[in-house]
Structure 1
Amino acid sequence: MSEKNKNIEMITGDPKNAIIKLSIPMMISMLLIMLYNIADSIWVAGLGADALAAIGFITPLFMVLVGLGNGIGAGANSLIARYIGAKDYDQANNAGLHAIVLCIVVSLIFTVLMMVFMRQLLELMGAGSTIDYALNYGYIIFGALIIFVYSGVASAIFRSEGDMRRATIAIAVTAVMNIILDPIFIYVLNMGINGAAWATVISATLSCIVMSYWIWGKNDLYLDLSPKNFNYQGKMIIDELQVAIPSTLENIIFSALAIIINGMLVTVAGTTAVAVYTASMRIVQMAMIPLIGIGTAELTVSGVAYGARNYENLKTGHSYSIKLGFILSIALGAIMFIFSSQIAAMFSYTSASAELAPQIATAISVLSLFVLAIPHGIMSSMVFQGVGKGVYSLIITLLRSLILETVFAYIFCFIFGWGLVGIYAGVVTGCFVGGTVGYIWAKLFIKRFGENLHA
C-alpha cells in the first residue's frame, strides 16, 4: 500500500489511533515553531526591555494576520476531510485549490491595510516609547504577509489528508533556519530588531518553497492540486469561509485579548509589565503545544467522521482527545511551576534584561494553571471546526477569551486589588469557565448528531 493510501486509511479508521499518529508530528511541528518564537524573544531580550516589549505589541497584530492563513487552512482542512470521508475525490481537490486562491487574494488585501494603518494601530495599543522598534519589525513582517498566510494553508492541505510527515519537515526547515539566522542577523550583522524580522521572513520563505515543490513539482499527494482541477464554485467558497472566517476571528479575539491585557498591564506597571507578560506567554504557548497538536488532529478526525456520518468515531475522538489533553497538561503545568525561576533566567542573560527575571518567574508560576484550564475547551472548539460549524467554535472562543478572561482579569486586578497577579489569575479563571461551557455544548451537539442518524 502506498504512503498516501496509508494516510487515508489511518484518518478514516480508529479515531484514537488517528489522533495519536496525527498529533505527535503536529506537536513536533508546533514545538519547533515555538522554539524559534522563543529564540526571537531571547535574542531580542538582549537588546533591552523596549525591544522585547515591541515584539509584544506586534505579536497580537501578527497573530491576527497569520490567523488568516490558519483560518483559511482550517476551512480547507475541514472541507477536504469531509469530502475524503464522503469519498468525493474531485471535490476534495477543488477545495484545496479554492483555499490557495483565497489565501492569495486575502493576504494581498491585508498587506496593503497593514502598511497604511500600522502606526495608528500601535499608537492605539499604547506602544509609547517602543513604537519605533515595533514599526521597524512590523513593516518587514507584514510586508511578507503572503508568505505566512500561504504557509498556513499549505500545511493544512497536508494535514487534511493525514500527511503529517511532510508538514512537519517543512516547519522544521523554518524553525532551524530561524534559530540559526536570528543571532547572525541581530548581532553579527548588527541589524538589531530588523534582523529578527528578516530571519523570520527568510526562514518562512524556505518552508513555502519546500511545500510548493511537493505539491506541484513532485506531485505525489493523495490530492491532485493541478490548476486543471479548479472549478470555481461559490458554494465551496462559502463552505470554507464558514470555518475560515470564524477561525480567523478567533485569532482576532486572541489578539484583542492580548491588546486589552497589555493595556491593563501598562496601567498597573508600565511597558515593562508587557515585556514580562510577553516572555511568560511564550512559555505558556510552548506548554500548550501538545494540546493544540491533539486539537488539530481532532479537527481532521472529526471532519472525516462527520463526512462519513460516523457517530461513534465523532464521539470517541472528542472524548479521547480531552483525556489525552488533561494528562499532558497536568505534567506540563507542574514543570512550569517547579522550574519557573530557571525558565525565567533564559530571558535575563544581559544587564539590560536582568531585572525582569523575578517578575517573569512569578508570572510563569501563576500562568502554569492556564495549561490545566484549557484542554476541554480547545478540543470542543476543534470538533465544531471539523464538522464545519465554525461559528459555534467562534462563540466559545468569544465567551472564553474576550469576555470571561477580560472580565475576571479586571475584577481580580482592579476590584480585588491583586495587581499583576490578579490579571494572570483572571486569565486562568476565565479560560476554565468558558471552556467548560464549550465542552457541554459539544457533548450535546454530538449526542444530537447520533440521534438524527438513528431517527
Structure 2
Amino acid sequence: MFSKRDLRKLLVPLIIEQFLAVLVGMVDVVMVAEVGEAAVSGVSLVDAINLLLIQLLAAMATGGAVVAGQLLGCRNEGRACHAANQLLLVTTVFSVMIMAISLLGNGLILRVLFGKIEADVMSNARLYFYITALSFPFLAIYNSCAALYRVMGNSRVSMETSLVMNGLNIGGNAIGVYVLRVGVAGVAVPTLISRMIAAGIMLFIIRSEKNPVHVDRQLRLGYEPDMIRQILRIGIPSGMENGMFQLGKIMVQSLVSTMGTAAIAGFAVAGNLASLEYLPGMALGMGLLTVASQCVGAKEFGQVKAYVKTFLKLNYCILAVIVVVLDLFCIPIIGIYNLSPEAASIARGLIVFHGFAMILWPPAFLLPHALRAASDVTFTMIIAVSSMWVFRIGLAYLLVKVFRFPVIGVWIAMSIDWIFRAIVFLWRLASGKWQKHGSDEQLVKKEKTES
C-alpha cells in the first residue's frame, strides 16, 4: 500500500523532527548546567514528570490517529474528519485538566514523588514545573494536529513547524541563560512561548479543506459520543501504558535521587544522551502506526507483518551508527555538561552499558506500534505494565536497596524489562491473534447507516 517513495516522504521528516526534539532537550540541559548541578538535577526531576504527562497526551493523539488511519484505509474520509474534530476536543479538554492539577499541586507532587531532596534542587524544580505546566494545552494541540498530518502520510508539515518551535526555544534559552541570567526560568519560558506559537501554526493549517483529514474551519468541533468512545477505547489503554511506564521511570528517578547529587546529575546526563539512541525507533514507531493502521483498515494484515520487518531492519541500521558514534565520542560530549569528575564518570559508564543494551529495544518498543494500529491495545498495555512493575521497578529496587548496586543497577533492571517485552511482542505478532481486532467496524457501520 506504500511505495518506497511514500515511506521516505513519511519517515525522513519524522526522524529529523525527533532529532530536533532530542537536540533541544540536550541543549536545555547543557545551558542550565551553567547555573550548577542543582539546576540540572531540578530540571531532570521535573522532566521525568513532564514526560509522564506528555505521554498521556500523546496517547490520546494516538487513539485519534489510529481511528482516522483505519477510516482512511477503508476509504472513509468523511468520518476521518469527524475523528479529527473529536480528537482535538478530547486532547484540549484533557490537557487543560492536567495543567490545572500540575499548577495547583506543584510542590505537593514533587514532595510525594521525590521525597526530601536538597533545598536548592527543590527550588529549581518547582519553578521549572510551574512554567512548563502552562504549555501543556498548546503541546496537546500541536501533537494532535501533527498526528493527523502523519495519518495523511505528510510528516513534513510537523517537521517544518518543529523547526520553528525548536529554533525559538534554543534562541530563547540562550537569551534567558547567558544574557538575562535568570537560571532555570531562562529555559522554561522559551519552552512555553515556542509551544504556543507551534500550536497556533498547526491549528491554522489543519483547518484547510485541501487536507483529506481536517478539522472544521470555524472550529465547530461538535460532540460525538460514539466517535469519542472509539478514540478513548484506543487512547485510554495506550495512555495507561505510557503513563505507567513514565511513572515507573519517575519511581526509578526517585530511587536515583537517594544516591546524591552526583548520581542524579550523572544519571540525568546519561539519560539525556541515551535519548539519541531512542530517536530512530521513536520516529519509525510513529511511521509504523500510520502505515499499519491504514493496512488494517484495508484488511491487509500480511502487509502489516512485512512492514514490521522492514521497519525493524531500518531501526537497527540507524541505531548501529548512533551507538558507535556516541560511544566513541562520549567523553568529550559529556565534558560539555560541566559535571564534577564523579558525575562524569557515572555518566560515561551508563552510556557504554546503554549502547550494548539497545539491541533489545526495537522489538520491545517499535513492534507494539503495529499491534496498537490493529486496536490490540489491551494486550500491549497488560504486558508493558506488568513487565515494568516486576522488572524495571521491582528488580531495580532489589538490586540497589538490597544488593547495594550502584546506579547502573537501575539500567540492568531496565534491560531485563526489555528482554521480556521483546519476547512476548514477537510471539504476539507471529501468533496472528492481534488480527481479530481488525479495523474499527463500529465506525464503518455508523457511516453506512448515516449514508
TM-score, normalization by structure 1: 0.89
Instruction: Work out which of the residue numbers 254, 258, 273 in structure 2 matches 1:263.
Output: 254
The residue identity in structure 1 corresponding to 2:83 is A
Report the Cα offset of residue 208 of structure 1.
1.4
Instruction: Report how many residues are paired.
Output: 435
What secondary structure, in the 3-state scheme, does the structure 2 residue paired with 1:13 have?
A: coil
The residue identity in structure 2 corresponding to 1:444 is S
Cα deviations by residue, 1:149-207 (Å, 9 ceiling, x for unpaired): 11111110111111111111111111111111102012311221011100111111221
In structure 2, what is the equivalent of residue 204 of structure 1?
195
Residues 187-198 of structure 1 aligned to structure 2 (within 5 Å): 187-198=178-189
In structure 2, how many angstroms separate the alpha carbons of the residues matched to 1:56 and 1:283? 13
In structure 2, how many angstroms separate the alpha carbons of the residues matched to 1:292 and 1:67? 12
Report the Cα offset of residue 447 of structure 1.
7.6
Is structure 2 residue 117 aligned with structure 1 residue 158?
A: no
In structure 2, what is the equivalent of residue 372 of structure 1?
359
What secondary structure, in the 3-state scheme, does the structure 1 residue paired with 2:57 have?
A: helix
Gaps of 5+ in 2: 440-451
In structure 1, what is the equivalent of residue 64 of structure 2?
76
In structure 2, what is the equivalent of residue 136 of structure 1?
127
In structure 2, how many angstroms separate the alpha carbons of the residues matched to 1:176 and 1:326? 29
Cα deviations by residue, 1:374-397 (Å, 9 ceiling, x for unpaired): 101222210122122222232232
Report the Cα offset of residue 65 of structure 1.
1.8
Instruction: Work out which of the residue numbers 259, 268, 289 in structure 2 matches 1:299.
Output: 289
Report the Cα offset of residue 450 of structure 1.
11
CA contact (8 A) 1:174 1:207 kept: yes
Is structure 2 residue 48 aligned with structure 1 residue 60?
A: yes
Instruction: Work out which of the residue numbers 253, 259, 269 in structure 2 matches 1:279.
Output: 269
Report the Cα offset of residue 231 of structure 1.
5.4
Is structure 2 residue 421 aligned with structure 1 residue 424?
A: no
Change (3 A) 1:230 1:108: closer
Report the Cα offset of residue 446 of structure 1.
5.9
Residues 56-455 of structure 1 aligned to structure 2 (within 5 Å): 56-124=44-112, 125-126=114-115, 128-129=117-118, 130-216=121-207, 219-226=209-216, 227=218, 230=221, 232-267=223-258, 269-348=259-338, 353=340, 355-445=342-432
Report the Cα offset of residue 19 of structure 1.
4.1
Report the Cα offset of residue 330 of structure 1.
2.9
In structure 2, how many angstroms separate the alpha carbons of the residues matched to 1:259 and 1:245? 20
In structure 1, how many angstroms separate the alpha carbons of the residues matched to 2:193 and 2:389? 33
In structure 1, how many angstroms separate the alpha carbons of the residues matched to 2:267 and 2:346? 9
In structure 2, how many angstroms separate the alpha carbons of the residues matched to 1:66 and 1:256? 12
The residue identity in structure 2 corresponding to 1:13 is F
CA RMSD after TM alignment: 2.3
In structure 1, what is the equivalent of residue 2 of structure 2?
13
Is structure 2 residue 34 aligned with structure 1 residue 43?
A: no
CA contact (8 A) 1:65 1:149 kept: no
Report the Cα offset of residue 254 of structure 1.
2.8
CA contact (8 A) 2:25 2:272 kept: yes
Report the Cα offset of residue 116 of structure 1.
1.6
CA contact (8 A) 1:247 1:390 kept: yes
| Matched-pair identity in % | 20
CA contact (8 A) 2:9 2:154 kept: no
The residue identity in structure 2 corresponding to 1:141 is T
Change (3 A) 1:171 1:228: closer
244-253 or 192-201, larger mean C-alpha shift: 244-253
CA contact (8 A) 2:84 2:215 kept: yes
Report the Cα offset of residue 144 of structure 1.
2.5
In structure 2, how many angstroms separate the alpha carbons of the residues matched to 1:447 and 1:191? 52
Change (3 A) 1:395 1:17: farther
In structure 1, how many angstroms separate the alpha carbons of the residues matched to 2:204 and 2:390? 43
CA contact (8 A) 2:70 2:297 kept: yes
32-41 or 182-191, larger mean C-alpha shift: 182-191
What secondary structure, in the 3-state scheme, does the structure 1 residue paired with 2:212 have?
A: coil
Change (3 A) 1:235 1:369: farther
Cα deviations by residue, 1:44-83 (Å, 9 ceiling, x for unpaired): 1111111111112111221122123311211111111100
Report the Cα offset of residue 27 of structure 1.
0.8
CA contact (8 A) 1:242 1:389 kept: no
Report the Cα offset of residue 126 of structure 1.
2.6
269-278 or 373-382, larger mean C-alpha shift: 269-278
224-233 or 185-194, larger mean C-alpha shift: 224-233
What secondary structure, in the 3-state scheme, does the structure 2 residue paired with 1:87 have?
A: coil
Gaps of 5+ in 1: 1-11
In structure 2, what is the equivalent of residue 33 of structure 1?
21
Report the Cα offset of residue 448 of structure 1.
5.3
In structure 1, how many angstroms separate the alpha carbons of the residues matched to 2:268 and 2:116? 13
The residue identity in structure 1 corresponding to 2:82 is N
What secondary structure, in the 3-state scheme, does the structure 2 residue paired with 1:101 have?
A: helix
What secondary structure, in the 3-state scheme, does the structure 2 residue paired with 1:255 have?
A: helix
Change (3 A) 1:423 1:68: closer
In structure 2, how many angstroms separate the alpha carbons of the residues matched to 1:118 and 1:96? 32
The residue identity in structure 2 corresponding to 1:344 is I
The residue identity in structure 2 corresponding to 1:443 is A
Report the Cα offset of residue 426 of structure 1.
1.9
CA contact (8 A) 1:381 1:396 kept: no
The residue identity in structure 2 corresponding to 1:264 is L
